[in-house]
Amino acid sequence: MENPQKRIAGESQLPEEIIQHIQSLLHEEEEAARTSLLSKSWHGAWCTRPNLSFDQYMFWNRVDEFPVFTKKTMRRYEDLNLKIKSFRLTMMEEYEDHSLARELILKAIELGATDLTIEIPSLDGIVLESETLARLSVFGSIARPLHFDVGAITKLHKLEYLRLEGLDIKHSLSKNELWPQFRCLKDLVIVDYNSDYDWDDVRICSPSLERVIILFHECRNVSAEFDVPNIRYFKFEGHEMPRLKFKAIGSREWESDIHIRFSPYMASTAWLSSLNQFVKMLSSSRVSLFMWWDLLDDGHALSMPVVDNLRPEMPFLDALLWSCRPNFVNVQRRFYGDSEGGSVETIEDGVILRWCKGS
């Protein structure tokens, strides 16, 4: 068996950047921190790592130590003239310390952070300004939406990736002035749980945008225009058919991925007509359409009787297929039942229709 001391000695000869890369690949922060016990080299690499993460949940039973630990760490980076590439800050609502959050975020940017992830109760009053920040992810939740003024980040001129999730989005600029502020933005991801943001007549105009993902977890009326000549991928997910318009699409091939969850009462000739027009509007792209049909109004499980023979006729499905004329169809029935062939006890949600249509 290999001598543990020799093994550790061998590991200690690894370059510091290799050790730090290995540490960054570990998913759990505590697991990565334990590698500092392997040797002095691993401990030194951990203490000077460029991907810095502060998670207050790791201090849940000793929250008073969190400010001391974070400030001490930041001072060490300043004293050693170390640079930060990525910075993640997660704080608990019940122990909100807005001044500490502001201090840590601005200090990380000052130390050169190019990738910033924020999960804190509030960003009110925090204005982010940086010539180096390329990626920004800001997270709230359904239960705890994060109050956020998008106008506070418009000075991030080099931003290439922006993700806003679970936020109570506000903005100090008009909807037509907001997105053009990000001249280098390539990826835009917005996950809206139930904010007060007005999605009527939103105009996103950007020659740099290549990927746009917009996800809604509640029924929302959406009307938006996209002037994105270099778009490569667009994804929309919601409960209502959006009113979208794309213009200035370049000659390169692009993909649209549409997920719509709807109920039987929505099935009508008018709805099918709007779907037809919607798919035609996306005809310059390679269209993937994913439709989730809610069979249960309240989501509760039903007790179903046993039948010997079932021959369903689905005129709506037939009309749906004629409306879109797909190249590929995938019909999924999702349910839980008795593995021995007995009666179905519960239905998970409904019927999923998925197909792809070439341009």
Q: Looking at the predicted structure, is the pLDDT value of residue 76 above 70? A: yes
DSSP 112: T
pLDDT for the residue 275: 81
User: Minimum mean pLDDT among 6-15, 80-89, 346-355: which range?
Assistant: 346-355
Q: Could you write out the three-class secondary structure of 310-339?
A: CCCCCHHHHHHHHHHCCCEEEEEECCEECC
CB 87 within 8 A of CB 52: yes
Residue type, 274: S
Write down the pLDDT at residue 186. Answer: 95
Burial 184-193 (b: 16+ CB within 10 A, else e): ebbbbbbbbb
DSSP string, 172-229: SS-HHHHGGG-TT--EEEEEESS-----TTEEEE-SS--EEEEEESS----EEEEE-T
Q: Where residue 212 falls among pLDDT bands split at 50, 70, 90?
A: very high
Q: What number is the average pLDDT over the span 269-297?
A: 79
Q: In sequence order, which ranges of the chain are alpha helices (DSSP H)?
A: 4-12, 16-25, 29-34, 40-47, 65-79, 98-110, 175-178, 269-281, 315-324
Phi-psi region of 112 (alpha: psi -120 to 50; beta: other; left: phi over 0): left
Give the per-residue pLDDT at 78. 92
Q: What is the pLDDT of residue 166?
A: 80
Residue 10 predicted with pLDDT over 60: no
Would the CA dihedral through 28, 33, 39, 41 be positive or negative? positive
- Integer Cα distance of 327 and 334 in angstroms: 23
Q: What's the one-letter identity of residue 41?
A: S
Q: Cβ(261)–Cβ(240) under 8 Å?
A: no
| pLDDT of 297 higher than 50 | no
**Confidence class of residue 315 from pLDDT cuts 50, 70 and 90?**
low
Q: Where are the domains of the chain?
A: 70-306+322-357
Out of 46-60, 117-131, 267-281, 310-324, pick the least confident: 310-324
Compute the mean pLDDT over every residue in the chain, rounded to the nearest whole number. 76
How is residue 235 written in tokens?
Answer: 């994804």
Q: What percent of the chain has pLDDT over 90?
A: 21
| Per-residue confidence band for 341, with pLDDT thresholds at 50, 70 and 90 | very low
Residue 22 neighbours by CB under 8 Å, 6+ apart: 35
Residue 352's beta-bridge partner residues? 292, 332
